[in-house]
Homo-oligomer: A and B are copies of this chain.
Amino acid sequence: MNAEIISVGTELTTGVVTDTNSAWLSRRLAELGVTVARHTTVADDRECLGEAMRSAAGRCELVIVNGGLGPTRDDLTRFALADVLGQPLEPNRKAQEQIEALFMKMGRRPSKADPVQAMIPRAATIIENAVGTAPGIEARVSGCRVFCLPGVPREMMRMFEEAADRISAEGGVAPVAIRALHTFGSYEADLGRRIDRFMEPGRNPAVGTTAAEGVISVRIVARETEGASARVLADRDEREIRAILSDLVFGTGSDTLALVVAQLLTKRRLTISTAESCTGGLLAKHLTDIPGSSEYMLRGYVTYSNESKTELLGVPVELLETHGAVSEEVARAMAAGCRARSGTDVAVSTTGIAGPTGGTAEKPVGLVYIGLAHGDEVEVRRCRFGSHLPRDAVRDRTCKTALNLMRLRLTNL
C-alpha cells in the first residue's frame, strides 16, 4: 500500500516550527507495511490544502493529513476536506459528546469557538481524541482513504493508533522490515561502490546510503514477496552487507559510536580518561552522554595551553618545543601521561589544528593526532581532515575517529 502525508500549518511553511510528525508517521506506517512516497506541507490556506488532498488522493491509496483541526480561524482542514468531498459540514453527535465530556473533565466550559470541532463532512466518520479537544476525521476521496489527525505531536501519535488499527483491519498491506547499519571510516562513494549490486533501482530489498557528519548509514527496506518474508529478506541482505563492510559497521538503529564504546567499556569492566587539546572537552562530553557513564569515565583533562599539558599530563617541555603541540610525539606523551596520572585502563588524547585560523603549510587546518594508551602500548593515529571543513566539523570528526579507534581496539582485545 502506498501513502502520502500532508502536514498543515503556516508555522511549518515559514520554518518557525520544524515538522517532525511526517518522519514519525513514515516510520510507523513502514512498520505496518505501508510505503510513504511523499510528504507535502502546506500553509493554512483552504484552497491549497484542498488541492494537495485531491492530488495526493489521486496518486495513492492512503493519505494522512495532520494539523488544522483546532478551533481557531486558521484551522481549515475540515473545510478543505468538505470542499474536496463536495459535501457540507454537519455537527456530529458523537464528537459533540466527546468534546463536552473532555471539557467537564478539565473543569472548563466549551468556548463559543469549540462547536466547530464537532463538525465533519456528511459521509465522514470521527476518530476519538482521548487527549485533546479535536476529534480526527476519516473519509474516502475517490477510493483513497483519508485520515485527518491533529498537528500536536502527542495527540497525533495517540490517535494514529486508532487509524493504524483501521488500516491493518482492511488488509492489503505487505509487511516491511527495515534495517539501518551505521558505518564509520569510509567515504560514501567508496562504500556505495562496495555494495553497488544491492543498490540497483527497483530491487527488493531496497538498499540506500545516507551520510551524516562522517557516519555513513546503509538502509535496507525489505518487502514481503510470495517466496519470502520481509524479515528473512532483510536479514539476508544485512548479513551479506555486513560481511562486505566488515568492521566499518559499528552499530544499528539508534546506536552511536559513543554508545558502542560505552557498552564495550562496561562489558569489559575497563575505565577510561581523556586528555584533549583541539577537541576542548567534546570527547569527554561524548563519553559522558550515556547514563551511568561514571562506571567507566573517571576523569578528563582539557589541556588547552602548553603549560597545562606539562603540568597536568607531564608532557616534557622539550617535546613541545622540538615538535610543537600538534605532533605525534605530543599526542603520545599526552595519552601516556593521562593514563599514568589517572590510573585508568585506557586513555585517549587529541591534539590538532581545528581552525579556521592557526594553520601553516606544514601543519594545515584539519591536521590532528589522536593517541590511544592501553596497557603499556600507545598507538597514535595521524588524521588529515580536509581544510575545507569548519571548526565544528574538524572537532566532531576528531571525536568520532577517536571513538572509532577505541571501538576497534576494544573489540579486538
Which A residues are closer than 8 A to B by beta carbons? 9-20, 22-28, 30, 36-45, 48, 52, 55, 70-74, 102, 105-108, 111-114, 130-132, 152, 154, 178, 180, 187-190, 192-193, 196, 199-201, 206, 208-212, 217, 219, 221, 274, 276, 279-285, 287-289, 291-294, 297-305, 307-308, 312, 342, 354-358, 384, 386-393, 395
Query: Which of A30, A48, A288, A392 has the largest count of B CB atoms less than 10 A from its CB?
Result: A288
CB contact between A38 and one of B13, B37, B154 (< 8 Å): that residue: B13
In angstroms, Cα B12 to Cα A30, docked, is 12
Residues of B contacting A298 with CB < 8 Å?
304-305, 307-308
Inter-subunit contact A37/B20 (CB<8 Å): no
Q: How far is the CA of A356 from the CA of B292 in the complex (A)?
A: 9
CB pair A288–B299 under 8 Å, yes or no, is: no
Chain B residues positioned under 8 Å from A301 (CB to CB): 299-302
Cβ-defined contact, B23 with A12, below 8 A: yes
14 additional A-B pairs beyond A15-B22, A284-B302, beta carbons within 8 Å, are A13-B36, A15-B24, A16-B219, A18-B23, A40-B41, A70-B189, A70-B211, A71-B192, A113-B189, A280-B287, A284-B284, A294-B304, A297-B302, A301-B302
Among the interface residues A102, A201, A387, which one has the most CB atoms of the partner chain B within 10 A? A201
Shortest beta-carbon distance from A21 to chain B in Å: 10
Main secondary structure of the interface of A (DSSP, over half): mixed
Q: Are A201 and B73 in contact (CB under 8 A)?
A: yes
Report A381 CB to chain B, min CB distance, Å: 15
Residues in chain B near residue A305, CB distance under 8 A:
294, 298-299
Contact flag A281-B285 (CB < 8 Å), given A27-B15, A107-B384, A131-B389: yes
A67 to B284, CA, bound (A): 33
For the complex formed, measure the closest distance between the CB of A373 and the CB atoms of chain B, giving whole angstroms: 17
